[in-house]
C-alpha cells in the first residue's frame, strides 16, 4: 500500500501540471470553438523562455513570468496572424484545425533549429523527498502544486467576478447572444487566446522544472494528455478541466504501479477515447454544451 500512495503523490503533481495545460486548452477551445493543435508548443515556448531567462537570473519568479508572458504573446499573435484570417475566409472548422497543426510544426521546428534537438537543462531547486501524510514529496513538488492551486483560484476569481470573465463565459455559451447583448466577441476571443497562452506558458515552466531536461518535443508529447484531461472534463469548462486533470494525472501515475510504466500514456489516451465514445460532453456535466465543439 505504501507504494500506491507514493504513486498517488506523483499523480497529484502530474495533475497539477496538467491542470495548467488542460484549463488553458479548454478555455481557448470553449471560447473560439476551434481546438488549438499548437497548444503543446505554447508549453514548449514557456519552457524555453524560462530556460533562456536563466542566463540572466535564476530567480524563479522571473522564470515563471518569462514563460507566461512569452506564451501569452505567442498565443495572441497566433490567433491574430493565422487563425483569424482563415476564420474570416469562412473556412471549414477542420481547415482551421489543420492550420494550427501547421503552426505547431513551424514552432516546434523553429525551436529545433534554434536550440538543436539536444536536451537543455532547467532544474527547479528542491529538497530531498520527505513524508507528507502518506505521500512522499520534494519541496519542488509542493511548489508546483501550490502554484497550480493559486493559479486555479485566480482563474476562478477572474471568470466569476470580473467583467472580462463574465464576457468570456457569455461568448463561450453563445457567441451570437453575447454579440446581441453588446459584447465585443472577437475582442473577448483574442484576449482568451492570450490568457490561455499565459496559463499554458506557466504550465510549460512547471513541466520543464519537473522533468529537469527537455527538447523541442516537450509540449507536443504532453498534448494528447492535455486533450484527454480537457475532454474528460468537458470542453469549455475550466472546472471540468481541473477535475479531468486530476483524474487523468492520478490514473496515469497509479496505473504505473500495476502495469509497465511505458503504458502510462496509452492509458491516458484510452481514457480519452472511452470518454469521447461514451460521454463526449465530458464526465462532469449535466447537460450537453450548447454550440458544441463536437460538430
- Site residues, another protein (CB under 8 A): 34-35, 82, 85-86, 89, 91-95, 97-99, 101-106, 108-110, 112-113, 116-117, 224, 227-228, 231, 260, 262-263, 265-266, 269-270, 272-273, 276-277, 280, 293-295
> If residue 230 lies in a helix (H) or strand (E), which one and from where to where?
helix 218-233
Q: What's the maximum distance between 2 C-alpha atoms anywhere in the chain?
A: 57
Q: Considering the complex, what minimum distance in angstroms separates the CB of residue 123 from another protein?
A: 23
The Cα 29–Cα 73 span in angstroms is 17
Nearer to another protein, 85 or 134 (CB): 85
Dump strand ranges (E) for the chain. Answer: 120-121, 130-132, 135-137, 213-214
Q: Considering the complex, what minimum distance in angstroms separates the CB of residue 21 from another protein?
A: 15
Q: Considering the complex, what minimum distance in angstroms separates the CB of residue 267 from another protein?
A: 9
Nearer to another protein, 136 or 215 (CB): 215
Q: Do residues 284 and 233 lie in contact, with contact meaning Cβ atoms separated by under 8 Å? A: yes
105: number of CA atoms within 13 Å, CB side? 6
Cell of 112: 529545433
Q: Do residues 281 and 30 lie in contact, with contact meaning Cβ atoms separated by under 8 Å? A: no
Cell of 200: 499554458
Q: Do residues 42 and 200 lie in contact, with contact meaning Cβ atoms separated by under 8 Å? A: yes
Residue 150 to residues 19, 66, 119, 194, 248: CA-CA distances in angstroms?
12, 18, 30, 19, 20
Nearer to another protein, 85 or 125 (CB): 85
- The alpha carbon torsion through 124, 201, 152, 13 (nearest 10 deg) reads -40
Nearer to another protein, 153 or 273 (CB): 273
Nearer to another protein, 93 or 181 (CB): 93
Nearer to another protein, 61 or 295 (CB): 295
Nearer to another protein, 156 or 279 (CB): 279
Amino acid at each position: 500500500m505504501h507504494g500506491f500512495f507514493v504513486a498517488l503523490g506523483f499523480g497529484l503533481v502530474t495533475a497539477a501540471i496538467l491542470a495548467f495545460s488542460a484549463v488553458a486548452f479548454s478555455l481557448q477551445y470553449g471560447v473560439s470553438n476551434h481546438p488549438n493543435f499548437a497548444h503543446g508548443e505554447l508549453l514548449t515556448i514557456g519552457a524555453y523562455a524560462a530556460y533562456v531567462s536563466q542566463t540572466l537570473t535564476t530567480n524563479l519568479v522571473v522564470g515563471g513570468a518569462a514563460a507566461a508572458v512569452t506564451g501569452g504573446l505567442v498565443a495572441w499573435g497566433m490567433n491574430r496572424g493565422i487563425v483569424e484570417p482563415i476564420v474570416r475566409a469562412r473556412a471549414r472548422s477542420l481547415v482551421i484545425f489543420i492550420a494550427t497543426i501547421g503552426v505547431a510544426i513551424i514552432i516546434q521546428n523553429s525551436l529545433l533549429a534554434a536550440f538543436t534537438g539536444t536536451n537543455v537543462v532547467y532544474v527547479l531547486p528542491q529538497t530531498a523527498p520527505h513524508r507528507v501524510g502518506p505521500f512522499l514529496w520534494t519541496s519542488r513538488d509542493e511548489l508546483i502544486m501550490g502554484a497550480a492551486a493559486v493559479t486555479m483560484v485566480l482563474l476562478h476569481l477572474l471568470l466569476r467576478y470580473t467583467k472580462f470573465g463574465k464576457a468570456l463565459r457569455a461568448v463561450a455559451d453563445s457567441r451570437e447572444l453575447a454579440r446581441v447583448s453588446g459584447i465585443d466577441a472577437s475582442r473577448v476571443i483574442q484576449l482568451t487566446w492570450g490568457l490561455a497562452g499565459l496559463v499554458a506558458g506557466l504550465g510549460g515552466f512547471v513541466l520543464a522544472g519537473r522533468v529537469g531536461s527537455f527538447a523541442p518535443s516537450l509540449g507536443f508529447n504532453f498534448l494528447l494528455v492535455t486533450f484527454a484531461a480537457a475532454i474528460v472534463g468537458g470542453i469549455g469548462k475550466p472546472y471540468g478541466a481541473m477535475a479531468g486533470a486530476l483524474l487523468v494525472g492520478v490514473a496515469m501515475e497509479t496505473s504505473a504501479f500495476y502495469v509497465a510504466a511505458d503504458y502510462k500514456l496509452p492509458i491516458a489516451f484510452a481514457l480519452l477515447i472511452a470518454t469521447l465514445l461514451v460521454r463526449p460532453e465530458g464526465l462532469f456535466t449535466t447537460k450537453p454544451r450548447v454550440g458544441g465543439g463536437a460538430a
